[in-house]
Structure 1
Amino acid sequence: MKNEKGSIVRPDALPASASRPVVTPLSPSVVYASETPDMLDQQYEGGLQGYTYSREGHPNADVAGRRIDRMEGAPHPGVMTSSGMAAVSAVLLGLTKAGDHVIGGNQLYGRSLRMMAEDLPRLGVETSMADPGDIDAMRAALRPETRIILVEVVSNPTLRVADIRALAELARENGVLLVVDNTFTTPRAFRPFEFGADIVLHSVTKLLAGHSDVMLGWVAARDAALNDRLRVFTVTTGMTASPFDCWLAERGMLSFDLRFDRAQATATALADHLTTLRGVKRVLYPGRADHPDRALLDELLGGRFCNMVSFELDGGRAEANAFTRAAEGLSFAPTLGDVGTTISHPASSSHRALTAEKRAALGMSEGFFRISVGLEDPDTLCQVFSDAVAAAGAI
């Protein structure tokens, strides 16, 4: 179509250049033009590499996705999704049908629990929950129709550890897919494919991107056909990742190793400090010798853990409110993985859909907090927590 001056509205391709940009260009185009129908056929059939429509893929998703593929040692290129829960949904909705059965770890992220409890049963997929650190409990939950076992390496928010090696063997013996959410540990600490996982997923929103300005997920399967099914389901349901978010995530991942190591070191110092404070009932951190899953941690993680610390205050909601008010400079927010330390209260956020009794059974009282440790100076951070715990104790 020509405008009133007679020129083509859309110009030709970008100017040619003998050099290339150092920073990946942002490519927000929704559509990509091909020269002929034959060329478009070849792109869809795999004879030519090219983009067609951004819901089906775009350069920024490929650049960010390839980086995670390498980090995880993925057998096939993973799929970037619009959020971590989109990656979970691609697996649970895209690979099951009515009559199937799914087993979940009993301390999954709150929205994953809700999907297991509400959405899958509504679609005719039955679900069960079991302790992923207790292989006998997981075995007892198996049924002939079990299709998937979904676990987190380190659970959100109680930081318990799944017996991944034993679960992989159990799944293989029974023809079941082991799906591992590696968000908390990240491939810096653990690579599930190396321990027998069939599918690995991430909320890239969290520590991988690391700046609280991205909403993304990633999922990849060991089997090529399953990997293709995940990709097709993601495209069909519109779970595609935004170019801008992928572009930001790539930037975040450039500093990921440095951020992970710094945050983990500070998390270790904070966990040790919290154990010394009057008013703190218990502290959970995978790097501490008193962690209840110490043997599994030594076997699986080999010295790297995560940036997450959970602890429980004496008292209830009033003390919790006093603590967050007094935690000067820290964000009380239902997120993790930011460059700054954030405080999360599962009873009012991630696990609010559970009854108080169910939360208590999982070890989450009104005084229970999850801390995502950031890049602050460790001494400064410990002082902030000393003051906040003291304020809670003054109630």
Structure 2
Amino acid sequence: MSDTPKSLSRRPEWPTSVSRPVATPLQPTVVYSSPDPSSLDQQYADGSGFTYAREGHPNATVLAQKIDMLEGVTGGIVNGSGMAAVSAVFLGILKAGDHVIGADQLYGRTLRMMTQDLPRFGVETTLADPTDAASFEAAIKPNTRMMVVEVVSNPTIRIADMEGIAKIANERGILLVVDNTFTTPRSYLPFENGADIVLHSVTKLLAGHADATLGYVVAKDPELMEQIYIANTTFGFTASPFDCWLAERGLQTFDLRYDRAEATAIELAAALADVKGVKRVIHPSRADHPDHNRGLQILGDRPGNMLSFEVEGGRAAADALTRAAPELPFAPTLGDVGTTLSHPASSSHRALTPEARADLGMSEGFFRVSVGLEEPKLLIEEISNAIAESQKA
């Protein structure tokens, strides 16, 4: 019996095989053992191997490399969430006295960081209209270090003047950061269009199954990437191996999921425009989209799976609509295999005043839809019926 504790404490060698696994193995270990101090020194010097999971682990590396291939770059890293990716960029590159220009229709938490958190650390911020490059140019100061833009805005589905903004940023030597979450590399390649840094909420379309929370960021300049990596490690924006494993599995079907959801979104947008009680439908495929021509230029025939619509009746109608569609999750997320409804006024943009939301075009009757993989006819019927019920309220 005295031998039992000793045998349990031993760490046997990992089994070897002449064959290799078809699926990526999950490796949740936190620490890695090195042969000796000199070997550990060498690992840190040349970046080979793994030491401590906060600094990197196999599942994060595999996932990052696959997203790198989609974006046409190398050297990206995976973070614990989309906001961790945003934070790693800001904390790794900016310093007190710098100035950042952000699109005024960024994701709600990015907006909060721009308007409330960065100023606490001595970083100046200005919000500008991404659909008008001249507004970005007008906001430039001598200390402007960075511009932050989403190609398609959340949740109003406006399309940024990426060509104009990139031209200004590149000519002025200002870093251009592009959040490519909505568009994904399937629809837009930021590095081919002047971006310096690209980030994603991998949680959304790339992972695609609402079961993994992750981010991703990559910079074209290796020195900037090193700064971002150091911030990511120092502030502990570590990605879970299990979430990385789930996301890599989801990534295998990304193109198929994106194409199917996008095609359904086009059908849904066309159908909702004819439903009584709908004030407007916003999707880049529609000729009445305020940025339709720019969308054709930037996105081509890839308008995406995200759309928004507004119903008459305000909050009472919004409550009635969601109750009338119990099979459609009312949830502040996007990119799942199933369609989800989001109400910005009560979720992603609740921190804004009603006046600020109104300025951006978000009323109490405004919904964002992340279209999933359902049968288009059934989805159209369910949402149309829910809208009809909302108007009875």
CA displacement at 1:249 relative to structure 2: 0.1
Work out whether 1:200 is the aligned partner of 2:187: no
CA displacement at 1:51 relative to structure 2: 0.5
Question: Please, which of 213, 218, 221 is the counterpart of residue 219 of structure 2?
Answer: 221
Partners of 1:30 and 1:10 lie apart in 2 by 17
Partners of 1:58 and 1:190 lie apart in 2 by 29
CA displacement at 1:11 relative to structure 2: 1.8
CA displacement at 1:59 relative to structure 2: 0.4
SS at match of 1:331: coil
Number of the residue aligned with 1:254:
252
Number of the residue aligned with 2:150:
152
Say if 1:170 and 1:377 are closer, same or farther in 2 by CA, change over 3 A: same
Number of the residue aligned with 2:130:
132
CA displacement at 1:305 relative to structure 2: 1.9
Task: Kindly provide the CA deviation profile for residues 4-46 of structure 1, in whole angstroms up to 9, marking residues without a partner as x.
Answer: 6544713232111100000000000000111111111111000
Number of the residue aligned with 1:23:
23
Question: Please, which of 152, 167, 170 is the counterpart of residue 169 of structure 1?
Answer: 167
Partners of 2:356 and 2:80 lie apart in 1 by 30
Do 1:282 and 1:311's aligned partners in 2 also have CA atoms closer than 8 Å?
yes
AA partner of residue 51 (structure 2): T
Task: Kindly provide the CA deviation profile for residues 168-225 of structure 1, in whole angstroms up to 9, marking residues without a partner as x.
Answer: 1101111110000000000000010000100000000000000000100000001010
CA displacement at 1:296 relative to structure 2: 1.4
SS at match of 2:9: coil
Task: Kindly provide the CA deviation profile for residues 65-115 of structure 1, in whole angstroms up to 9, marking residues without a partner as x.
Answer: 0110000012x3101000000001111222111111100001001000000
Work out whether 1:42 is the aligned partner of 2:69: no
Number of the residue aligned with 1:70:
69
Partners of 2:358 and 2:6 lie apart in 1 by 71
Task: Kindly provide the CA deviation profile for residues 148-181 of structure 1, in whole angstroms up to 9, marking residues without a partner as x.
Answer: 1001000000000111122111011111100000
SS at match of 1:317: helix
Question: 5+ unaligned residues in a row in structure 2: which ranges?
Answer: none
AA partner of residue 64 (structure 1): L
Summarize the alignment of residues 1-395 of structure 1 with structure 2, pairs less than 5 Å apart. Answer: 6-7=6-7, 9-46=9-46, 49-74=48-73, 76-395=74-393
Tell which deviates more after alignment, 110-119 or 165-174. Answer: 165-174
Task: Kindly provide the CA deviation profile for residues 124-171 of structure 1, in whole angstroms up to 9, marking residues without a partner as x.
Answer: 101000011101111001101011100100000000011112211101
Partners of 1:169 and 1:10 lie apart in 2 by 60
SS at match of 2:280: strand
TM-score, normalised by the number of residues in structure 2: 0.98
Say if 1:319 and 1:6 are closer, same or farther in 2 by CA, change over 3 A: closer
Partners of 2:147 and 2:178 lie apart in 1 by 8
SS at match of 1:34: coil
Say if 1:142 and 1:15 are closer, same or farther in 2 by CA, change over 3 A: same
AA partner of residue 80 (structure 1): V
AA partner of residue 201 (structure 2): S
Percent identity of equivalent pairs: 61
CA displacement at 1:386 relative to structure 2: 1.2
CA displacement at 1:118 relative to structure 2: 0.5
Give every structure 1 segment of 4 or more consecutive aligned residues whose post-TM-superposition deviation is greater than 4 Å.
2-5
Partners of 1:364 and 1:93 lie apart in 2 by 30
CA displacement at 1:3 relative to structure 2: 6.7
Partners of 2:326 and 2:284 lie apart in 1 by 26
Do 1:133 and 1:163's aligned partners in 2 also have CA atoms closer than 8 Å?
yes
Partners of 2:179 and 2:303 lie apart in 1 by 15
Partners of 1:133 and 1:386 lie apart in 2 by 31
Do 1:106 and 1:132's aligned partners in 2 also have CA atoms closer than 8 Å?
yes
Partners of 1:144 and 1:386 lie apart in 2 by 51
Do 1:163 and 1:296's aligned partners in 2 also have CA atoms closer than 8 Å?
yes
Say if 1:123 and 1:389 are closer, same or farther in 2 by CA, change over 3 A: same
Partners of 1:141 and 1:212 lie apart in 2 by 37
Question: 5+ unaligned residues in a row in structure 1: which ranges?
Answer: none
Partners of 1:14 and 1:246 lie apart in 2 by 21
TM-score, normalised by the number of residues in structure 1: 0.97
Task: Kindly provide the CA deviation profile for residues 328-367 of structure 1, in whole angstroms up to 9, marking residues without a partner as x.
Answer: 3100000000000000000000000000000000000000
Do 1:3 and 1:9's aligned partners in 2 also have CA atoms closer than 8 Å?
no
Do 1:328 and 1:384's aligned partners in 2 also have CA atoms closer than 8 Å?
no
CA displacement at 1:300 relative to structure 2: 1.1
Task: Kindly provide the CA deviation profile for residues 300-335 of structure 1, in whole angstroms up to 9, marking residues without a partner as x.
Answer: 111112111100001110000000000131000000
Partners of 2:326 and 2:30 lie apart in 1 by 43
